[in-house]
Structure 1
Amino acid sequence: MEKQSSQEIKAYQEELLRRQLVYLREHSPYYKQLFEKQGIDIDMIETIADLVHIPTTSKDDIQAHNEDFFCVGREEIIDYCSTSGTLGKPVTFGLTEKDLERLAYNEMRSFQTIGVKPGDVVQLMTTMDRRFMAGLAYFLGLRKLGAGILRVGSGIPQLQWDVILQHKPRFLIAVPSFLLKLIEYAEQHDIDYRNAGIEAVLCIGESLRDASLNDSVLTRRIREKWPLKLYSTYASTEMGAAFTECEAFQGGHVHEDLVIAEVLDEDEHPVPDGESGELVVTTLGVQGVPLLRFKTGDIVRKHVAPCSCGRNTYRIGPVEGRKQQMVKYKGTTLYPPALHDLLAGFPEIEHHVIEISHNDIGTDEIVIYVSTKESTAEFLLQIKDHFRAKLRVTPRVERRSSEELQRIIFNPLSRKPITFIDKR
């Protein structure tokens, strides 16, 4: 289907949307009440363009009415996942047998997109515990595809290298900045990492491209040392689907039978293709906790031009920031990914944490804590000058020990590394 015309893909999605709306009217306490309260006749919603007549769903709505989003009884729930709570209280999602099959199908297609074949060995460098959907999804997708899985978990470069050297995986699933730690460990221990058999990495949690779909500083730093194919994937617990890059590296392809994506401005109007806005998703084929026009909070761009790979599905560019993490700093609007990417350009920085707070005059203050191999005052000034030149802001930069920052970044109570702290 993904290589059919864009018109055929759209018609297919709209048929699936109509089925999903009927399902919500019949099974979702939350959406049934919403349709009645708003006087919405779902039989009049026939196209994707008609979705504008339905209110969006926010994370706050799910947090306040979590149980009302469940469309099946507990006896049908096989697995309970939860969100990471990045922007507030975590919410619970229940997956039925069919939802787990849908999740496996989604990731199977993602892995096929980056070239994984039956019999390949893939090393999973992310956790499967703590009700984390991503690790489970990768496992199920690889199992469905017929690939071998090395479930090593996150962190610990020595353990990762022990497994790589013993089992020779072709692919890794990893947070891209962790690849720099693998490279550093390999160089310190005389491991010939360029000839270790790794060909490509499915990268999670951090953007590999900028808004123009060019390689980020982090991507360039990795590839200068280790010329791997680095594929970006964007996914969320809420949509149970992913946008994964193909070999063109020009944004992640939508899985047309699993999700409908809109990109909206501040007034919830669609933005022109290629313009930035908030990603809003409607899940297709979900039984347990389906969502209609869910606002992800992620700022992205939608690209509809045909891709050189032959797929005609539209693509979603990298996350340029999260709506709730937008920083207004002395007249300049910033998002954390831009700050992280600039810091990635300094190999002397071992760890960093960005902290945002309000000052007494009501504006945002940026403090960057770094642990560095280069400890001179001149180096800290160099960081400030780089920010001033690139982003027209001058944050306060303070040195901290590597141990102190590691305790913050790798908090055992968090499923994701903490490199951004918002105290506003």
Structure 2
Amino acid sequence: MELYPSIEKADIQEIKKFQEQKLRELLIYLQDRSPFYQRLFKDNSIHIHDIRTLEDLQKIPVTTKDDLQQYNHDFFCITPDKIVDYSTTSGTLGDPVTFGLSDQDLERLSYNEAVSFACAGIKKGDVVQMITTIDKRFMAGLAYFLGLRKMGASVVRMGPGIPELQWDSIFRYQPKYLITVPSFLLKMIDYAEKNGIDYKNSSVYGAVCIGESIKNQDFTDNILSKKIKEKWDIQLFSTYASTEMSTAFTECEFQAGGHHHPELIITEILDDSGNPIAEGESGELTITTLGVEAMPLLRFKTGDIVQAHYEPCRCGRNTMRLGPVIGRKQQMIKYKGTTLYPPAMHDILNDFSGIQCYQIVIHSSDIGLDEIIIKLSSEHADEEFVGAVKDHFRAKLRVSPKIELVDFDVLSKEVFHPNSRKPITLVDLR
């Protein structure tokens, strides 16, 4: 299969024309098959043949996460007997939403991951260790497996956790790449150091990092990334994806943002009023899926605040690149007059070597203001350490939240919950 699709090297106008043709096909499909979009077109007097260009998308109302939760089954465009896999969103905010995938959707998913992993430099014959779940209705784990299989790589399906087993597998099967939540790499390094494992001379060349950011907005390594690389000199590739998109944005070897695959998705970046933002500004990523059979989405607001980069990449692709997620719209916090997003707080907490684990809890005060409590367990559980953390917050974010010291055995059970696919480092109770 072609792992460097020619459309990604095409010029911008050619990509736009290609996407407009795909958009027209999608609108006909939705008009024929989707109860939700049939109703949306009718209620808003939208004639799909009037939507000819990407700019015309502005005439169509956006679809929200609330719509997906409220009318989940109205988004299905195929009968239940055509569904071969059921997945759910990870439910970061609110109830999970069910996604059905047809055979064709699984094929599209495997293509998406194959071209994304190829972007990060994985090749046919490489051994890749998956440190992520493939069950619990998790779409990504299945997608990684299908994509690696499609591109001819060998997969070691380890699943998350248990550093001892991960190292056993690394020395047994010699993987070149790992797929993992990046903070888990610190646990693996810690285990290796305590148990005399020569991890610096392992077969691992790089890790495709999921679920947590490893870059600053200017593409330099963030604190988490630096902490990993100070100990273990491996390449870290960031990736951004979601169940709703069934599409990934993965970095190439030049590591300057996740590349857009125009054959799979149309992207818009919108301001608070729903208008396209000026180039160089940040806004909410809004997506239209292409080639999805069971549950296609039209102008779906992801809730993620991002910045796009349009200058051609040194790798030869002309496609747009997405910078790291700045924050989630619904997780914006107004604290003592300052606007904050959780990623900025994660960076500060990751900066402290003495913190064993932490959880940020946001709630509303009696008078409706946002309050932040940071629960943390540390080897140095004293007032001096708490003072140092607070000072660091003041220096970086101009405000300092309330800090509670919690015993590691208690807090780690909340953060690394067996039913969660990712560490629960944020709890929003508002």
User: Structure 1 CA distance, aligned partners of 2:100 and 2:429?
Assistant: 32
- Structure 1 window deviating more from structure 2 (134-143 vs 242-251): it is 242-251
Q: Which residue of 1 aligns with 2:351?
A: 345
**Deviation at residue 197 of structure 1 after TM alignment:** 1.0
Pick the aligned partner of 1:50 from 32, 42, 56. 56
SS in 1 for 2:8: coil
Does 2:426 correspond to 1:420?
A: yes
Q: Which residue of 2 aligns with 1:270?
A: 276
Q: Which residue of 1 aligns with 2:43?
A: 37
Percent identity among equivalent residues? 57
User: Structure 2 CA distance, aligned partners of 1:193 and 1:262?
Assistant: 42
Listed as ranges, the gaps of 5+ residues in structure 2 are 1-6
User: Structure 1 CA distance, aligned partners of 2:148 and 2:279?
Assistant: 33
Does 2:216 correspond to 1:210?
A: yes
SS in 2 for 1:78: strand
Aligned residue type for 1:319: V
User: Please, what is the CA RMSD of the aligned residues?
Assistant: 0.9
User: For residues 17-416 of structure 1, what are the structure 2 equivalents within 5 Å?
Assistant: 17-416=23-422
How big is each residue's C-alpha offset from its partner over 1:122-172, in whole Å with a ceiling of 9 and x where there is no partner?
Answer: 000110111100000000000000110011001111111111111110000
User: Structure 1 CA distance, aligned partners of 2:166 and 2:279?
Assistant: 41
**Deviation at residue 360 of structure 1 after TM alignment:** 2.0
**Deviation at residue 415 of structure 1 after TM alignment:** 2.4
**Deviation at residue 305 of structure 1 after TM alignment:** 1.0
**Deviation at residue 24 of structure 1 after TM alignment:** 0.6
TM-score by length of 2: 0.97
Aligned residue type for 1:118: K
Runs of 4+ more than 6 Å apart = none
User: Structure 1 CA distance, aligned partners of 2:108 and 2:192?
Assistant: 38
User: Structure 2 CA distance, aligned partners of 1:421 and 1:92?
Assistant: 22
TM-score by length of 1: 0.99
User: Structure 2 CA distance, aligned partners of 1:78 and 1:263?
Assistant: 32
- Structure 1 window deviating more from structure 2 (374-383 vs 138-147): it is 374-383
- Structure 1 window deviating more from structure 2 (201-210 vs 361-370): it is 361-370
User: Structure 2 CA distance, aligned partners of 1:33 and 1:395?
Assistant: 46
SS in 1 for 2:284: strand
**Deviation at residue 13 of structure 1 after TM alignment:** 1.1
Aligned residue type for 1:271: I
Listed as ranges, the gaps of 5+ residues in structure 1 are none
**Deviation at residue 416 of structure 1 after TM alignment:** 2.2
- Structure 1 window deviating more from structure 2 (407-416 vs 344-353): it is 407-416
**Deviation at residue 242 of structure 1 after TM alignment:** 0.5
Aligned residue type for 2:17: A
User: Structure 1 CA distance, aligned partners of 2:229 and 2:73?
Assistant: 45
SS in 2 for 1:416: coil
How big is each residue's C-alpha offset from its partner over 1:80-139, in whole Å with a ceiling of 9 and x where there is no partner?
Answer: 111111111111111111100000000000110111111110000110111100000000
Aligned residue type for 2:394: R
User: Structure 1 CA distance, aligned partners of 2:19 and 2:156?
Assistant: 35
How big is each residue's C-alpha offset from its partner over 1:23-75, in whole Å with a ceiling of 9 and x where there is no partner?
Answer: 11111111011111111011111111111100000011011111110001011
How big is each residue's C-alpha offset from its partner over 1:281-312, in whole Å with a ceiling of 9 and x where there is no partner?
Answer: 10001000000000111111111111111100
How big is each residue's C-alpha offset from its partner over 1:150-198, in whole Å with a ceiling of 9 and x where there is no partner?
Answer: 1100111111111111111000000011111011111111111111010
Q: Which residue of 2 aligns with 1:4?
A: 10
User: Structure 2 CA distance, aligned partners of 1:226 and 1:274?
Assistant: 34
**Deviation at residue 345 of structure 1 after TM alignment:** 0.7
In the alignment of these two chains, the number of paired residues is 424
